[in-house]
Amino acid sequence: MITTSKQKTWSNAIARPAPEFDLTPLLVISGAIPADLRGSLYRNGPARLSRGGKRVGHWFDGDGAILGVHFTDTGATGVYRYVQTQGYLDEQSADAYIYPNYGMTAAGAFWNNWFKPIKNAANTSVLALSDRLLALWEGGKPHALDLETLATIGIDPLSALTDKQPFSAHPKVDPMTGNIFNFGVSSGANTVLNLYRCAPTGELEQQNSFPLVGLPLIHDFCFAGQYLIFLVSPVRVSIPPVMFGQKSYSDSLEWKPELGTEILIFDRDDLSLVSRGKTDPWFQWHFVNGYVDQDGNIVTEFTRYENFATNQYLKEVASGYSETKAPGTLWSLVIDPQTAKVISNQPILNACNEFPLVSPAKVGQNWRYTYLNVHRDGVTHGSELFQAIACFDRETGTIAIADLGENCYPSEPILVPRQDNPEQGWLLTVVFDGNTDSSEVRIYQSDQLSAVPVCRLALPSVIPPGFHGTWKSS
């Protein structure tokens, strides 16, 4: 349990492992569930940050747990389940951490890291298919779960993928075709960027690979019309300390601005390389979206960090207190796809933000509204988690903010599009209320964020702050 006197209110949400709960009717705190909101909200995140009296080394190390909220004609029900990975089951049986992870080395002598695989924490994101939910993680295969109960079915084979081909946590679904695009970085004698195109059912249809120099940290990519875009930031793993068990993966990451940011552009059909280039150094975790403009150029937007201090900030979150300042701001990059030459690269929103999203109907296409997490007015980054959700209007350059209030912390906002307007609709976020030590689901009308929530639903227990989620319509 976190005991430091510096701890923040949000630390209470991660002070102890989150308890699971079965399918449970959810009480309406205020308002009413919209009549046209029918389907399921799924969210993933690290829910257990301690075991056997020891805390994890980084927020990314926590065991993943999935929240499902099902909206039907009779109301809403919620269910919360840990993903039953083999690593989770082994460590649950031992009541101790056994495996190396992003911010941890294996228990015992350093040579234990030579023989134990990195634990698949299954804690980063989710992908809802027609017959199963995939719990996604950075460096391995996804785990399949039952869409209703969230019972773990097992590791999803994804057809022809081998054990050395990870399926990363940020797939992109083309709203025009339903095709799923994703990637995974394989390391070993050589580092390889694996590219995948899957059918809407999840079956692998096309794959390709591209060699990388060194071992970079690639968390996300951009889907823009005919292209897949990777911006490879100048972060590299110092391999010997990891290989010999002296340091964790996180502690071995080095910021090398002299390398610049590499631009890799691939064709969506055959996943072949179209062009590559280089530009200024920065780091980004997440892209907003991308599209091809009327001049045939790629426009991509992302939350940009000037260096890699964000990793230290996220490491501190696991301790319940953060002080490293690592503000991310929204940038727009325009690239010639045939040459990878940068045409323009500029900030478009100075507000510190993260977890940017667009309507699922606009992925890979030009869009107007970006939804994201921001800070409340006057809050200093490095001392608090985000306490507001926002809508940035790219057409007017204005931002609308829903301030959740002091000690209230929202998750990434998920848009459920309206039938008549695919860029607006219901905006759903899971909130930890530090004032009452409870969690709830809040539903906002996306074009009226300054108004009170349309509906608030009480959850049976605290849901720790997490990473990514999705919506699946009925």
Structural domain harbouring 175: 9-473
Domain count, the chain: 1
* pLDDT tens readout for residues 19-48: 999 999 999 999 999 999 999 999 999 999
Q: What's the pLDDT band for 260 if we cut at 50, 70, 90?
A: very high
pLDDT at position 5 over 70? no
Percent of the chain with pLDDT over 70: 96
pLDDT at position 127 over 50? yes
Residue 2, domain member (yes or no): no
Residue 4, domain member (yes or no): no
Residue 333, domain member (yes or no): yes
Report, as an integer, the average pLDDT of 140-155: 96
Task: Give the pLDDT confidence score for residue 159 in this predicted structure.
Answer: 61
Report, as an integer, the average pLDDT of 416-431: 95
Report, as an integer, the average pLDDT of 128-145: 95
Q: What's the pLDDT band for 424 if we cut at 50, 70, 90?
A: very high
Task: Give the pLDDT confidence score for residue 170 in this predicted structure.
Answer: 98
Q: What residues contact 435, with CB distance under 8 A and at least 6 apart?
A: 9, 406, 407, 408
Residue 3, domain member (yes or no): no
pLDDT at position 115 over 70? no
pLDDT at position 2 over 60? no
> What string of H, E and C letters represents the secondary structure of the chain?
CCCCCCCCHHHHHCCCCCCCEEEEECCEEEECCCCCCCEEEEEEEEEECEECCEECCCHHHCEEEEEEEEEECCEEEEEEEECCCHHHHHHHHHCCCCCCECCECCCCCCCHHHHCCCCCCCCCEEEECCCCEEEECCCCCCEEECCCCCCEEEECCCCCCCCCCCCCCCCEECCCCCCEEEEEEECCCCEEEEEEEECCCCCEEEEEEEEECCCECCCCCEEECCEEEEEECCEEECHHHHHCCCCCCHHHEEECHHHCEEEEEEECCCCCEEEEEEECCCEEEEEEEEEECCCCCEEEEEEEECCCHHHHHHHHHCCCCCCCCCCCEEEEEEEECCCCEEEEEEEEECCCEEEEECCHHHCCCCCCEEEEEECCCCCCECCECCCEEEEEECCCCEEEEEECCCCEEECCCEEEECCCCCCCEEEEEEEEECCCCEEEEEEEECCCCCCCCCEEEECCCCCCCCCCEEEEEC
Rounded to whole angstroms, the Cα distance separating 85 from 140 reads 11
Rounded to whole angstroms, the Cα distance separating 132 from 210 reads 30
Give, rounded to a whole angstrom, the gap between the first and last alpha carbons of the chain: 40
Residue 235, domain member (yes or no): yes
* pLDDT tens readout for residues 44-66: 999 999 999 999 999 999 999 99
Starting at the edge strand that comes first in sequence, how are the strands of the sheet with 191-198 ordered?
A: 172-173, 180-186, 191-198, 204-212
Mean pLDDT across the chain, nearest whole number? 94
Residue 178: closest CA among 135, 140, 128: 128
Of the ranges 125-139, 214-228, 377-391, 449-463, which one carries the lowest mean pLDDT score? Answer: 377-391
Task: Give the pLDDT confidence score for residue 245 in this predicted structure.
Answer: 74
Q: What's the pLDDT band for 1 if we cut at 50, 70, 90?
A: very low
Phi then psi for residue 389, to 5 deg, are -115, 155
Q: Which two tokens stand for residue 23?
A: 């399918």
Task: Give the pLDDT confidence score for residue 3 in this predicted structure.
Answer: 45
Cα→Cα distances 215→3, 22, 95, 192, 233, Å: 37, 41, 33, 9, 11
Starting at the edge strand that comes first in sequence, how are the strands of the sheet with 125-128 ordered?
A: 125-128, 133-136, 143-145, 152-155
Residue 357: CATH number of its domain: 2.120.10.30
* pLDDT tens readout for residues 325-375: 999 999 999 999 999 999 999 999 999 999 999 999 999 999 999 999 999
Residue 101, domain member (yes or no): yes
* 275 exposure class (CB count in 10 Å sphere: 0-12, 13-18, 19+): middle
Residue 410, domain member (yes or no): yes
Which of left, alpha, beta for 401 (phi over 0: left; psi -120 to 50: alpha)? beta
Residue 439: closest CA among 397, 411, 420, 399: 411
Q: Count CB neighbours of 383 within 10 A.
A: 13
pLDDT at position 4 over 60? no
Q: pTM, whole model, 2 decimals?
A: 0.96
Of the ranges 109-118, 134-143, 187-196, which one carries the lowest mean pLDDT score? Answer: 109-118
Query: Which has the higher per-residue pLDDT, 185 or 4?
Result: 185
Task: Give the pLDDT confidence score for residue 6 in this predicted structure.
Answer: 67
Residue 125, domain member (yes or no): yes
Of the ranges 76-80, 209-213, 242-246, 302-306, which one carries the lowest mean pLDDT score? Answer: 242-246
